[in-house]
Amino acid sequence: MYRTACPSCGAEVLFRSTISTIAVCEYCQSTVLRDADEVRDIGKIGKVLEDYSPIQIGTSGTFAKRSFTVVGRIQLHYDAGLWNEWYVMFDDGQGGWLADASGQYMVTLDIGPAKNATPFEQMRPEFRFEHAGRSFVATDVRTARCVGGQGELPFVVGAGYEAKVVDCRSGDRFLTIDYSDAAPRLYVGSPVTLAELNCQLLRDGDQILQSAGKLKGANNVLDCPNCGSPLNYKAGVATQLVCPACHSEVDCSGDRATVLAKHEEANRYHATLDVGDSATIDGDHWWSIIGLVELEEVGDDDSGWSEYLLYHKHKGFRWLVETREGWYDASVLDKWPEAWSENSVTLNKEQYRKLYPAYDARVTYAAGAFNWRVKVGDITTYREYERNGVRLAKESTASEINWSRSKKLTNELVAQWFGKKEIVTPKYETGEADDPADLNKLSIMAIVWLLVINVPLLLFGSFGSGLFWTVLAWWLLRLPLKFNKDD
């Protein structure tokens, strides 16, 4: 452990790791470079936004039977949001990274140069990368910039530091190719949960809500910078907001709210629930809806469904999906399928069959807070698979792939969760109702054709039998008109 005084303000700066190159002064945000026997100030780095993460400097845990302590963090921002990279020091003196994005966690270790990496500009989702006898699939290709730093770090970062990274998956293994330096480097590890890491000294839910996301002039309620309407905002839980009044996209990842885009209109289906609704799930009453997205299949205006983002201050995020087929409880997969094709998917050695042909879906409405940027007009390609009532969905965009698993819920259970007397499966009718006059014309035409077809039977066959079937068919054709008139 090495202690020194900050060259800028004189406050004590602590280096816990012998391999840390820099440390960020917690008082003045100066970046302190340790070079041989001297330290020097190489400029300031932005403060990190205190978000929903329960991790903090000093959090400890165990990975692959090796104990570690969190000693630093960089916060990276890209066009759809931000995530944390926590720098951890193992007891054996080696370093590693604990990625923290949207409530999912990955531990990776630097294993050296990526000698056979495809140039970053040519990388796309679903490209294959071979490593140690395994085939990894590129799932996320992005360029991000460092917007904040904290604690100790193994390399120099500062204003303008840019990270070009490609994340890859192979079952329960995770691999990142980092193109930030001249020579790409490989980081290999696996998705984890904080429980699996046996983490200690985590922030609890109350600490997160008290300290997170302190925007200028805002605590838990924020006025839309575009129209002034109040936004239901849980500080630090999610940084991307969509105003329900003017549909503006608002970014809260800096020191003030910024309007990213304005939308004059946004179509909305008839979602049953809304942002702010609370739920008691499995006896736990801390769940609440923080975001609502509505989508329709491209080329089919009569299709539509709603997706609700739920948040729990101790358990993170989950999704509730409302479709014309019913309700589904959905979660993002940590462990990815071992194999997939157009017609089937294998997960945990179980095969799921294709449910529908692939289709594109467009966001038509969004409101509330999200942990990534949601835009009206966003298009995602969906492929769905099913086995014994459990569904897997692959969601693809130009830069990212995600897998989720969902299970159907009864209307009664959803109603119980949200304390409602009754919840029904929605119809999602977006077109104009059928005109009774048009239906009447069609019915009359069908009856005329029915009579023409049955004239031979009426004249030359059994008159009674022919008349009976003609009258019965006539009443069946008139039946929809009767119900339409009653409605």
The mean pLDDT of 195-199, rounded to a whole number, is 94
Residue 219 has what pLDDT?
Answer: 41
Which has the minimum average pLDDT: 172-186, 199-213, 279-293, 337-351?
Answer: 199-213
Overall residue count recorded for the chain in this entry: 487
How is residue 216 annotated by DSSP? T
Residue 461 has what pLDDT?
Answer: 54
In the block, tokens 């990526």 appear at: 114
Residue 3 has what pLDDT?
Answer: 66
Q: Are 278 and 285 in contact (CB under 8 A)?
A: yes
What tens digit of pLDDT does each residue of 278-325 get?
999 998 888 999 889 999 999 887 788 999 999 887 777 899 999 988
Residue 302 has what pLDDT?
Answer: 75
What tens digit of pLDDT does each residue of 229-274 get?
766 655 555 667 777 767 677 776 655 566 556 655 556 656 899 8
At residue 156 the predicted structure's pLDDT band, cuts being 50, 70 and 90, is confident
Question: Can you give the pTM of this predicted structure?
Answer: 0.72
Residue 248 has what pLDDT?
Answer: 75
The mean pLDDT of 375-381, rounded to a whole number, is 90
The mean pLDDT of 123-146, rounded to a whole number, is 92
Return all residues near 480 (Cβ < 8 A) that are at least 6 apart. 439, 443
CA distances from 376 to 233, 245, 247, 387, 407 (A): 19, 14, 9, 32, 27
At residue 215 the predicted structure's pLDDT band, cuts being 50, 70 and 90, is very low
Q: Please choose, from the candidates 447, 263, 471, the residue with its C-alpha nearest in 3D space to the C-alpha of residue 365.
A: 263
The H-or-E segment that residue 414 falls in is: helix 411-417
The structure tokens listed for 448 are 């005329």
The mean pLDDT of 106-114, rounded to a whole number, is 94
At residue 451 the predicted structure's pLDDT band, cuts being 50, 70 and 90, is low
Break the chain down into helix, strand, coil percent, rounded to 5. 15, 45, 40
Cα gap 89→83, rounded to integer Å? 20
Which has the minimum average pLDDT: 11-20, 22-31, 79-88?
Answer: 11-20
Computed over every residue of the chain, the mean pLDDT equals 79
Residue 116 has what pLDDT?
Answer: 84
What tens digit of pLDDT does each residue of 387-421 get?
999 999 999 998 899 999 999 999 999 999 999 98
% residues pLDDT > 90 (the chain): 40
Residue 486 has what pLDDT?
Answer: 46
Residue 260 has what pLDDT?
Answer: 56
Comparing 209 with 436, the larger pLDDT belongs to 209
Residue 275 has what pLDDT?
Answer: 87
Comparing 43 with 26, the larger pLDDT belongs to 26
Residue 434 has what pLDDT?
Answer: 43
Over 50: is that where the pLDDT of 200 sits? Answer: yes
